[in-house]
């Protein structure tokens, strides 16, 4: 049974019809101890079939360990969006729900080979001398998460020193707990600093540059929590949607 209904499939087909370049969808899966690997693979297969500019590769995390190391994939289900080279753009967990928007945006981004970032942001990212890893924690029901994911992916496309992954908190609750994820989106920068809510391009740049110049966090060191002044963190009650521009409470 298809995961995409007819309406969503046709809308996605139209969005992917004008891709200027190619993109590769690289799925990592395994048969054992992976609750949603099958759905992740099926979703990638359905999306790849919507455009002749998309190709699909399915790998096993264990038996294709060399490729996993090459693409810096360490858990499943995983989906890498790449071009002729890897840009460090990933999804951990099935990119369904609101994250399907993030998936289509990542494909379009890689296809264009253009981050769309401001010239000054591009120039400052070119000065990075240390690797920066961004983990954007999401849920499938968070309407604000795609904005945070897309911004992080744009940074990864622009700089070979930056990697960016969308991480489904529901799929990886232990990882979410490790980083005290109580509301989404929450962006973890180099496992060391946290940004609550949807960070602006300027705010994310500030934290990426700081992380690129900082020493790695010591084991057990408490991460520093940062809140973008433009993104007030609101604790929404059960059944109450969070105000626009704020995080989505888990």
Asked if pLDDT for residue 58 goes beyond 80, the answer is yes
HEC string of 80-113? EEECCCCCCEEEECCCCCCHHHHHHHHHHHHHHC
* The pLDDT of residue 80: 98
Domain boundary among the residues 64, 96, 114 is at: 114
State mean pLDDT over 99-109.
98
Q: CATH number of the domain that 31 lies in?
A: 3.40.30.10
Of 196 and 218, more confident: 196
Q: Is residue 1 part of a domain?
A: no
- Domain of residue 62: give its range: 8-114
Asked if pLDDT for residue 111 goes beyond 80, the answer is yes
Q: Is residue 2 part of a domain?
A: no
Q: Is residue 76 part of a domain?
A: yes
| Domain co-membership, 68 together with 174 | no
State mean pLDDT over 82-92.
97
Distance CA 142, CA 93 (A): 14
Identify which of 170, 136, 182 has the alpha carbon closest to the alpha carbon of residue 155. 136
Distance CA 50, CA 16 (A): 7
Distance CA 159, CA 152 (A): 11
Axis-axis angle for helices 6-16, 99-112 (nearest 10): 20
* The pLDDT of residue 248: 54
Asked if pLDDT for residue 247 goes beyond 80, the answer is no
| Domain co-membership, 248 together with 125 | yes
Domain boundary among the residues 79, 114, 149 is at: 114
| Domain co-membership, 61 together with 104 | yes
State mean pLDDT over 75-97.
98
State mean pLDDT over 188-215.
92
Alpha helices in the chain (DSSP H): 6-16, 37-48, 65-70, 99-112, 119-125, 145-158, 173-178, 201-212
| Domain co-membership, 35 together with 53 | yes
| Domain co-membership, 166 together with 250 | yes
Query: If you count them, how many residues does the chain have?
Result: 250
Residue 250 — very low, low, confident or very high, per pLDDT cuts 50/70/90?
low
State mean pLDDT over 61-76.
97
| Domain co-membership, 128 together with 248 | yes
Task: Say which residues have a Cβ less than 8 Å from residue 250's Cβ, sequence separation at least 6.
Answer: 139, 169, 176, 181, 182, 183, 184
Report whether 5 contacts 36 (CB < 8 A).
no
Distance CA 247, CA 236 (A): 9
Asked if pLDDT for residue 223 goes beyond 50, the answer is no
Say how many domains are in the chain.
2
Domain boundary among the residues 114, 142, 165 is at: 114
| Domain co-membership, 141 together with 35 | no
| Domain co-membership, 47 together with 101 | yes
Distance CA 191, CA 173 (A): 16
| Domain co-membership, 107 together with 121 | no
Asked, as a colleague might, if the bond just before 185 is cis with ω within 30 of 0, I would say yes
| Domain co-membership, 28 together with 57 | yes
Q: pLDDT tens digits, residue range 136-178? A: 999 999 999 999 999 999 999 999 999 999 999 999 999 999 9
Residue 214 — very low, low, confident or very high, per pLDDT cuts 50/70/90?
low
Distance CA 87, CA 89 (A): 6
DSSP code of 242?
P
Q: What is the CA radius of gyration of the chain?
A: 17
Which single residue is written with the structure tokens 């999401």? Answer: 138
Of 75-89, 191-205, 206-220, the poorest mean pLDDT is in 206-220
Residue 45 — very low, low, confident or very high, per pLDDT cuts 50/70/90?
very high
Axis-axis angle for helices 145-158, 99-112 (nearest 10): 20
């Amino acid at each position: 049974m298809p995961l995409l209904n007819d309406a969503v499939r046709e809308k996605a087909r139209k969005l992917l019809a004008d891709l200027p370049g190619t993109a590769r969808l690289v799925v990592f899966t395994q048969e054992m101890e992976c609750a949603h690997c099958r759905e992740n693979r099926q979703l990638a297969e359905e999306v790849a079939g919507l455009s002749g500019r998309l190709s699909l590769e399915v790998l096993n995390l264990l038996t294709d360990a060399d490729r996993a190391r090459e693409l810096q994939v360490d858990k499943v289900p995983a989906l890498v969006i790449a071009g002729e080279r890897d840009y460090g753009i990933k999804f951990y967990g099935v990119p369904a729900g609101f994250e399907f928007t993030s998936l289509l945006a990542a494909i379009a981004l890689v296809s264009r080979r253009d981050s769309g970032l401001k010239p000054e942001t591009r120039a400052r990212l070119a000065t990075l001398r240390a690797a920066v890893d961004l983990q954007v924690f999401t849920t499938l029901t968070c309407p604000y998460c795609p904005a945070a994911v897309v911004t992080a992916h744009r940074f990864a496309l622009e700089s070979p020193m930056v990697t960016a992954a969308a991480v489904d908190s529901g799929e990886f609750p232990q990882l979410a707990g490790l980083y005290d994820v109580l509301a989404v989106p929450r962006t973890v920068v180099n496992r060391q600093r946290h940004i609550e809510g949807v960070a602006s391009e300027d705010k994310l740049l500030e934290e990426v540059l700081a992380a690129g110049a900082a020493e790695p966090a010591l084991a057990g060191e408490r991460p520093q929590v940062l809140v973008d002044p433009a993104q007030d963190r609101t604790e929404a009650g059960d059944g109450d949607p969070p105000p626009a521009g704020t995080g989505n409470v888990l």
